[in-house]
Chain A
Amino acid sequence: MKELFKDKEHLVRMVGLFGIGFLLFGLMKIILVPNSFGLYGHYRGDSLAEVAAQPVAYAGRGACIDCHSDIDEARTGSKHAVIGCEACHGPLAAHVAEPEKLKPKLPDGEKICLRCHLANPARPVSFPQITLKDHSTDDPCTSCHPAHHPEIS
């Protein structure tokens, strides 16, 4: 035993160095690693809430129908009843927040209609499609097909 520790001076020095190393490691870890790192896995747990904090631009049809229930009733029984309002009217969360201040513009009828209903061979055959030159006159689509209930009865 005595033989083993006869040169203990260098051992003490090394234990000291390791001690300082440990302290430095701990200090660096506290400083450099964000608090929430490792909360759920190898990433900052706080970033979940940060991503979720982004503001919403599309209010969702529920918010629209809260005030415009008459329009929702007008759509009953129509194929358009399942379409989200903002699909044609655009993002309107700002209008929901301040209904009087931000009035949405009426969508450009023909452009919006043709976006979905212009004939294209890649579209499913069961989907109603039109070729402009064969269909109707120069009248706007909505003169025959009301946008919220386009079926001609």
Chain B
Amino acid sequence: MTIDRREFLLQTGKLLILTSSAAAALEYVLAGTPEEAPGYTVADHYWAMMIDIEKCIGCGNCARACKEENGVSRQPYYFRTWVERYHVRPEEPELPDVDSPNGGIDGFPEKYRGDDGSKSFFVPKLCNHCAHSPCTQVCPVGATFESPDGVVLVDKKYCLGCRYCVQACPYGCRYIDPDKKVADKCTLCYHRIRKGLTTACCEVCPTGARQIGDLKDPNDPVHEFLRTHKTQVLKPHMATGSKLYYNGLDGSVR
């Protein structure tokens, strides 16, 4: 067998790459899933959210509370959660009018008539906390990720602010923090749910249209909700593994 220098270098290089990736994988396996918070084990939880559109009254409490809780910029371009109003005319069910004045924070001025055969309703939106999220797949540095307990988070110290994830999110749930210039989004109030509290938006929702649920807790009402309601996720054809379950979602909602 003869082998020239070029070929030898190539093969050795390949071997080197293979060994280092194997070493990295081993590191991950050996590390396991250690805990860092007393009383909360990430492996014991898997968070999801349920939204009952039939209960949403468009009061905007959720959008307001989210900005208060998370210190989101008050400018009307930055929202971690917001409420959209859909207006569907019977002759064009595929082309709804959608508006969301200041995310619903200041309420929805009466704009449509209820007696002309059209229908209107509110759709609260937020991060879908996808299990196979497009936003985490495009991050070049590993600054955004799906946590073991099912929450999509941003590592603000590691984020470069390249905006790939903002473009990748099919639900428009990300923005660039105007102060820190890094990606920002709904954390499902991670700082609250780890303490056993509900999210700020769920806490202030007066009709219970929003609820968080722990899919790994057999006693959580989420199971009963999913069993007894016809639920749907947004853009199911994109196979994002969304964990934001809507009850009463109209076909016109995008």
Chain B residues whose C-beta falls within 8 Å of the C-beta of A51 in the assembled complex:
153-154, 187, 190-191
Is A77's beta carbon under 8 Å from chain B?
no
Chain B residues whose C-beta falls within 8 Å of the C-beta of A57 in the assembled complex:
68-69, 200
- Please judge, given known A-B contacts A116-B59, A121-B114, whether A58 and B203 are in contact too, CB under 8 Å: yes
Chain B residues whose C-beta falls within 8 Å of the C-beta of A38 in the assembled complex:
24, 27-28, 31
- Please judge, given known A-B contacts A90-B68, A120-B110, A122-B122, whether A127 and B31 are in contact too, CB under 8 Å: no
Chain A residues whose C-beta falls within 8 Å of the C-beta of B167 in the assembled complex:
none
A118 to B107, CA, bound (A): 10
Which of A66-74, A80-88, A101-109, A133-141 binds B? A80-88
- Measured CB to CB, the nearest residue on chain B to A119 is B110
Chain B residues whose C-beta falls within 8 Å of the C-beta of A48 in the assembled complex:
36, 42, 147, 153, 190
- Assess the A124–B55 pair: CB atoms within 8 A: yes
Is B85's beta carbon under 8 Å from chain A?
yes
Beta-carbon contacts of B135-176 to A below 8 Å, as 1s and 0s? 000000011111110000111111000000000000000000
- Measured CB to CB, the nearest residue on chain B to A93 is B69
- Assess the A52–B69 pair: CB atoms within 8 A: no
Chain A residues whose C-beta falls within 8 Å of the C-beta of B122 in the assembled complex:
122-123
- Assess the A56–B197 pair: CB atoms within 8 A: yes
Is B65's beta carbon under 8 Å from chain A?
yes
- Assess the B27–A124 pair: CB atoms within 8 A: no
B85 in complex: contacting residue of A21, A122, A124, CB < 8 Å: A122
A90 to B67, CA, bound (A): 12
Is A153's beta carbon under 8 Å from chain B?
no
Chain B residues whose C-beta falls within 8 Å of the C-beta of A90 in the assembled complex:
68
- Assess the A42–B145 pair: CB atoms within 8 A: yes
List residues 21-69 of chain B with CB under 8 A from any CB of chain A.
Answer: 24, 27-28, 31, 33-34, 36-37, 42, 54-61, 65, 68-69
Is B108's beta carbon under 8 Å from chain A?
yes
Is B205's beta carbon under 8 Å from chain A?
yes
Is B112's beta carbon under 8 Å from chain A?
yes
Is B70's beta carbon under 8 Å from chain A?
yes
- Assess the A56–B192 pair: CB atoms within 8 A: yes
Is A76's beta carbon under 8 Å from chain B?
no
- Please judge, given known A-B contacts A37-B142, A115-B61, A116-B57, whether A47 and B157 are in contact too, CB under 8 Å: yes
Is B231's beta carbon under 8 Å from chain A?
no
A122 in complex: contacting residue of B112, B144, B194, CB < 8 Å: B112
Is B180's beta carbon under 8 Å from chain A?
no
B37 in complex: contacting residue of A49, A121, A124, CB < 8 Å: A49
Contacts from B to A (Cβ < 8 Å): 5, 12, 16, 20, 24, 27-28, 31, 33-34, 36-37, 42, 54-61, 65, 68-70, 85-87, 107-108, 110, 112-114, 120-122, 142-148, 153-158, 187, 190-192, 194-195, 197-198, 200, 203-208
